[in-house]
């Protein structure tokens, strides 16, 4: 509630009083945020945005038959971003009172060389839209109490590691991990944006290390979900244990791959991590601003094989990168990145759109309030193609099947190397013996033109992506794909 005259002047600001709901971001926050946005505009800023956040996070780790770590984290804070022309600055605070937010705004204005208006200056209130409340619309306010409590987390993880003991052999260590990340956000901006959402992200998985003499292997498997409070309760740890134990058993005694250039088939699901890393990042406007993408001036041109179509979107049900709105308050949407090899769109946040001219795509994302939003991926994947899985394998006389991808690194302009945790030799279109030690080495511009076949079995996998706005939850994915040739490091 605002206690002041209808027309607000600058000298009244120190005496303003607001009553906002402290345990929830609701429409009672409209009045103070509208006033602060008006203050920023009166000071000469071209655009101002507030991002408010509350987080309730917990993680749990089971090692062998013991819970070794439970880590809770609660945080509350806000960030204010001020634009003057194409330049901007970002200031954060843990003080969500009117005076705390005002102090953060004043600091941001000062950094941009702007002064507060004179004492008798009129401060216009920004006319915000009616609160666009995705949380209330979808019943998200009830999610947090419905999630698994700490005791249940521990019980499920210990049941999981016990199952690994039964299904795997030559075990050196067994680990099961789980986290739950609940986040409430509110975005208010001087263009009238006023939107609220709640996100619930969860992930659970195994890490298994096996050893027999000089033979060693380490395999990990993880599942992820948004929007389902019952996710941990429905996790099939028995099936996950069987999968990871079978993989570890095959890789423990596998032969090392011989270095060379091979055609490869990359599995669906987490196989999409290479497209995410080697190409997806190069389609973010952040990379255009830094002049670190070879695709900056290629919109409308062919950058990949005509068999390849790729999307980025925030709408797949329960996928790890699914959002109802981005961290700038823009509703989620589908963005066609590449169509039959032709570059169609880049991923743009507000600043990226302003500086590059590419339209916003609902891709402004951040780890938390301590980061300004930047153009980031959501659910990013290669679309299903026209070939059957049998067709794809039949096209390879001798090559490598990369069933499970591991970690890797990517250079600023798309050079990459990725380890393969589980690989097999392909001979005459058939999978034969297991291989280990394979490392895929290439460059985005080249590999995109060598993806000549895509099967019809699209599958998505959860992932974590780090960039200028911190670590965020994303989805990678693809059907099985054939790469005509790639350098494979080995022995």
Domain boundaries along the sequence of the chain: 10-136, 140-183+198-254, 260-489
Tell whether the model's pLDDT for residue 1 goes beyond 90.
Answer: no
Residue whose C-alpha is closest to residue 201's, from 334, 339, 365, 46: 365
Task: At 43, list the tokens.
Answer: 């000071």
Task: Write the DSSP string, 226-242.
Answer: ES-TTHHHH--HHHHHH
Beta bridge partners of 188: 50, 194
End-to-end alpha carbon distance in the chain: 71
Distance, CA of 89 to chain centre = 23
Question: What is the C-alpha R_g of the chain?
Answer: 25
| Residues 461-483, mean pLDDT to the nearest whole number | 97
Tell whether the model's pLDDT for residue 408 goes beyond 50.
Answer: yes
- Residue 443, classified by CB atoms within 10 Å of its CB into exposed (0-12), middle (13-18) or buried (19+), is middle
| Residues 170-181, mean pLDDT to the nearest whole number | 98
pLDDT at res. 491: 81
| Cβ contact 336:290 at 8 Å | no
Phi, psi of 272 (to 5 degrees): -65, -5
Q: What is the dihedral of CA 201, 243, 416, 318, to 10 degrees?
A: -20
| Residues 388-399, mean pLDDT to the nearest whole number | 97
CA distance 88 to 82: 5
Phi, psi of 279 (to 5 degrees): -125, -45
More confident residue, 122 or 27: 27
| Cβ contact 376:465 at 8 Å | yes
Tell whether the model's pLDDT for residue 488 goes beyond 50.
Answer: yes
Residue whose C-alpha is closest to residue 401's, from 247, 233, 284: 247
| Residues 130-137, mean pLDDT to the nearest whole number | 98
Using DSSP's 3-state secondary structure scheme, residue 151 falls into helix
pLDDT at res. 6: 58
10 Å Cβ neighbour count for 132? 18
Average pLDDT, the chain: 95
CA distance 344 to 299: 6
Which residue carries 């070879």 as its tokens?
A: 294
- In CATH, the number for domain 140-183+198-254 is 3.30.160
CA distance 422 to 434: 8
Each residue of 416-428: pLDDT tens digit?
A: 999 999 999 999 9
| Cβ contact 209:173 at 8 Å | yes
């Amino acid at each position: 509630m605002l206690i002041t005259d209808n027309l607000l002047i600058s000298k009244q600001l120190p005496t303003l009083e607001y009553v906002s709901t402290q345990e929830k971001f609701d429409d009672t926050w409209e009045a103070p945020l509208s006033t602060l946005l008006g203050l920023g505009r009166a000071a000469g800023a071209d655009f101002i945005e507030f991002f408010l956040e509350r987080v309730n996070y917990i993680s749990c780790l089971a090692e062998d038959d013991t819970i070794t770590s439970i880590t809770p984290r609660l945080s509350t804070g806000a960030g204010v971003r001020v634009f003057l022309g194409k330049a901007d600055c970002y200031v954060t605070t843990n003080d969500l009172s009117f005076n705390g937010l005002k102090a953060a705004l004043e600091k941001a204005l000062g950094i941009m060389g702007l002064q507060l208006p004179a004492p008798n200056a009129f401060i216009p209130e920004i006319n915000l839209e009616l609160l666009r409340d995705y949380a209330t619309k979808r019943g998200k306010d009830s999610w947090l109490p419905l999630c698994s409590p700490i005791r249940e987390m521990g019980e499920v993880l210990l049941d999981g590691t016990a199952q690994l003991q039964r299904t795997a052999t030559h075990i050196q260590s067994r680990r099961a991990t789980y986290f739950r990340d609940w986040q409430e956000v509110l975005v208010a901006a001087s263009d009238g944006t006023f939107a609220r959402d709640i996100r619930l992200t969860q992930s659970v998985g195994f890490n298994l290390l096996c050893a027999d003499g000089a033979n060693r292997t380490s395999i990990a498997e993880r599942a992820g979900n948004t929007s389902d409070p019952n996710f941990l309760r429905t996790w099939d740890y028995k099936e996950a244990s069987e999968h990871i134990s079978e993989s570890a058993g095959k890789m423990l005694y596998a032969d090392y791959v011989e270095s060379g250039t091979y055609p490869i088939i990359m599995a669906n699901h987490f196989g999409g991590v290479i497209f995410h890393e080697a190409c997806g990042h190069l389609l973010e406007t952040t990379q255009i601003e830094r002049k670190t993408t070879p695709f900056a001036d290629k919109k409308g041109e062919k950058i990949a094989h005509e068999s390849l179509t790729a999307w980025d979107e925030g709408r797949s049900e329960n996928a790890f990168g699914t959002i109802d709105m981005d961290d700038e308050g823009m509703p989620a949407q589908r963005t066609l990145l590449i169509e039959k090899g032709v570059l169609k769109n880049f991923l743009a946040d507000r600043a990226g759109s302003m500086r590059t001219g590419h339209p916003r795509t609902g891709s402004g994302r951040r780890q938390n309030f301590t980061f300004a939003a930047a153009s980031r991926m959501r659910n990013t994947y290669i679309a299903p193609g026209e070939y059957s899985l049998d067709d794809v394998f039949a096209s390879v006389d001798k090559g490598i099947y990369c069933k499970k991808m591991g970690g890797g690194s990517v250079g600023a302009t798309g050079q990459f190397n990725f380890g393969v945790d589980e690989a097999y030799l392909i001979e005459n279109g058939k999978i034969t013996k297991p291989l280990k030690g394979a490392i895929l080495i290439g460059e985005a511009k080249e590999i995109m033109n060598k993806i000549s076949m895509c099967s019809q079995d699209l599958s998505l996998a959860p992932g974590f992506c780090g960039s200028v706005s911190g670590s965020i939850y994303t989805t990678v994915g693809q059907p099985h794909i054939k790469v005509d040739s790639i350098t494979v490091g080995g022995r």
